[in-house]
C-alpha cells in the first residue's frame, strides 16, 4: 500500500494540497478531533449545545475526517457526532469516521462489543477506521487483532490502526493485522517531538503508515516565539495556523485539532492551504 498526495475534486473531500491518500483512500491533512465534545472523561449533557454547534460548524466548514473514541465523554462524543451528521446535509459516504477501543476493552469479545457499541451510538453501519486507543499492560495483542481482523472481514470496519504505540508495538501490530495498519495516532507538535526521537515518525514515513498528530496546538497552550510570529505575519496567518502548517508539512503526517470556536475551526481548516517554504520549515524545526 502506497500513500501519495493525490487530487480529489469532490466537494465533500479536500484538494490535493489538503489530502493524503491512495486510489481507494483519501484522508484530509486536517481533520476534526472530538476530545472534550460532550464532556471530558464523563458525559456532561449541559455542554451539548456548544458541542453540537462546534460539530455543525466543522461540517459546514468542510471537514470530512472526524476522530472520536468510546472513551470520549464515556461514549457521548460519538452520540453527538452521529446526531450532528444526521442533521447535516453531508452524506455518510462522503465522511471518514475514526473511533477507538479503550485500553480496558482489548480482550477478543470486548473489542467486538466495543465496536458494536460505537456503531450504535453513532447510528452508523461501519467505521472507516478503528484504532486501539492506548496499549494496555498485560494485553494479549494477538486476541485484540483477532477481533479487529474479524470486524474488517465482517464489514464493520474498513481500516485498522493504532494510537500511542511505540515502535515495537507498532511492528507487532503490522504482523498481526490481516490488512495494512494505516496509522499510528500520537502526540506531535512544534513543542512535542517525542515521536521523532523514538523513531516512530521515521518508521511511519518509510513504511507507508500515516502519523496522525493529536494535540498539534498543545490544546491551545501553544508557546509563541519571534520566529513563529514572523512567519505568521509573512503569510497573513495566525501562529496557530503556522503551527498546523508545520505539522502537516512533514511527509505522511495528518492532524486532528479541535476547537469550539467557529472562527478557529475555520482557521484550522484553512491552515491546510498554507505552503511554508523549505527555509521556514527549517527555521521552525530548528527553533
Residue 7 lies in a domain: no
pLDDT given at position 219: 77
197: number of Cβ within 10 Å: 8
pLDDT beyond 80 at 107: yes
**What pLDDT does residue 26 have?**
81
Residue 2 lies in a domain: no
What domain count does the chain have? Answer: 1
| pLDDT tens digits, one per residue of 222-247 | 888 899 999 999 999 999 999 999 99
Question: Nine-digit cell at 119?
Answer: 456503531
Judge whether residue 20 has pLDDT over 90.
no
Q: What angle do CA 193, 194, 200 make, to 5 degrees?
A: 105
Which residue do the cell numbers 474479524 mark? 150
Cell of 81: 457526532
In whole angstroms, what is the distance from residue 214 CA to residue 12 CA? 23
For residue 115, tell me if it sits in a domain. Answer: yes
Given a contact cutoff of 8 angstroms between Cβ atoms, the answer to whether 50 and 255 are in contact is no
Q: Is residue 5 part of a domain?
A: no
Task: Report the pLDDT value the prediction gives residue 2, as an integer from 0 to 100.
Answer: 36
142-185 pLDDT per residue, tens: 999 999 999 999 999 999 999 999 999 999 999 999 999 999 99
Looking at the predicted structure, is the pLDDT value of residue 191 above 50? yes
pLDDT at 132: 98
Q: Residue 271 pLDDT > 60, yes or no?
A: yes
d(CA 49, CA 85): 15
Computed over every residue of the chain, the mean pLDDT equals 92
pTM: 0.92
Mean pLDDT of 269-280: 98
Mean pLDDT of the 13-21 span: 47
- Tell me whether residue 130 is one of the annotated catalytic residues: no
Residue 15's pLDDT is 35
Residue 10's pLDDT band, with cuts at 50, 70 and 90, is very low
Whether 144 is covered by a domain: the verdict is yes
Q: What is the CATH number of the domain that holds 89?
A: 3.20.20.100
Unique residue bearing C-alpha cell 498528530: 213
pLDDT in tens, 35-90: 999 999 999 999 999 999 999 999 999 999 999 999 999 999 999 999 999 999 99
Q: What's 258's DSSP letter?
A: -
**Which residues constitute the domain of residue 278?**
19-286
Q: Determine, yes or no, domain membership for 6.
A: no
Residue 249 belongs to some domain of the structure: yes
Q: Is the dihedral of CA 211, 217, 9, 161 positive or negative?
A: positive
75 and 40 in contact (C-beta within 8 Å)? no
Annotated catalytic residue within 63, 72, 130, 188 = 72
pLDDT at 9 over 50: no
Does the CA dihedral 240-244-247-250 come out positive or negative?
Answer: negative
pLDDT of residue 224: 81
Domain-located, residue 256: yes
pLDDT for 14 equals 35
Amino acid at each position: 500500500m502506497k500513500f501519495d498526495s493525490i487530487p480529489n475534486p469532490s466537494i465533500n473531500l479536500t484538494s490535493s494540497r489538503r489530502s493524503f491518500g491512495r486510489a481507494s483512500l483519501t484522508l484530509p491533512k486536517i481533520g476534526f478531533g472530538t476530545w472534550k465534545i460532550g464532556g471530558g472523561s464523563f458525559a456532561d449533557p449541559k455542554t451539548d449545545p456548544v458541542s453540537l454547534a462546534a460539530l455543525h460548524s466543522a461540517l459546514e466548514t468542510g471537514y470530512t475526517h472526524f476522530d472520536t473514541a468510546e472513551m470520549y465523554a464515556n461514549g457521548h462524543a460519538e452520540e453527538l457526532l452521529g446526531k450532528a451528521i444526521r442533521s447535516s446535509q453531508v452524506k455518510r459516504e462522503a465522511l471518514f469516521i475514526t473511533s477507538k477501543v479503550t485500553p480496558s476493552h482489548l480482550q477478543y469479545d470486548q473489542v467486538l462489543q466495543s465496536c458494536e457499541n460505537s456503531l450504535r451510538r453513532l447510528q452508523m453501519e461501519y467505521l472507516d477506521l478503528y484504532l486501539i486507543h492506548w496499549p494496555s499492560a498485560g494485553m494479549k495483542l494477538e486476541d485484540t487483532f483477532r477481533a479487529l481482523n474479524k470486524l474488517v472481514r465482517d464489514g464493520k470496519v474498513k481500516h485498522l490502526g493504532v494510537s500511542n504505540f511505540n515502535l515495537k508495538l507498532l511492528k507487532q501490530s503490522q504482523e498481526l493485522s490481516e490488512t495494512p495498519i494505516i496509522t499510528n495516532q500520537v502526540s506531535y507538535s512544534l513543542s512535542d517531538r517525542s515521536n521523532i526521537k523514538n523513531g516512530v515518525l521515521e518508521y511511519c514515513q518509510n513504511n507507508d503508515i500515516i502519523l496522525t498528530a493529536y494535540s498539534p496546538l498543545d490544546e491551545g497552550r501553544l508557546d509563541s516565539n519571534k520566529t513563529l510570529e514572523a512567519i505568521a505575519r509573512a503569510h497573513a496567518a495566525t501562529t496557530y495556523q503556522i503551527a498546523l502548517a508545520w505539522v502537516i508539512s512533514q511527509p505522511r503526517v495528518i492532524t486532528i485539532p479541535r476547537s469550539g470556536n467557529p472562527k478557529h475551526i475555520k482557521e484550522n481548516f484553512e491552515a491546510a492551504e498554507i505552503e511554508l517554504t523549505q527555509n521556514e520549515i527549517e527555521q521552525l524545526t530548528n527553533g
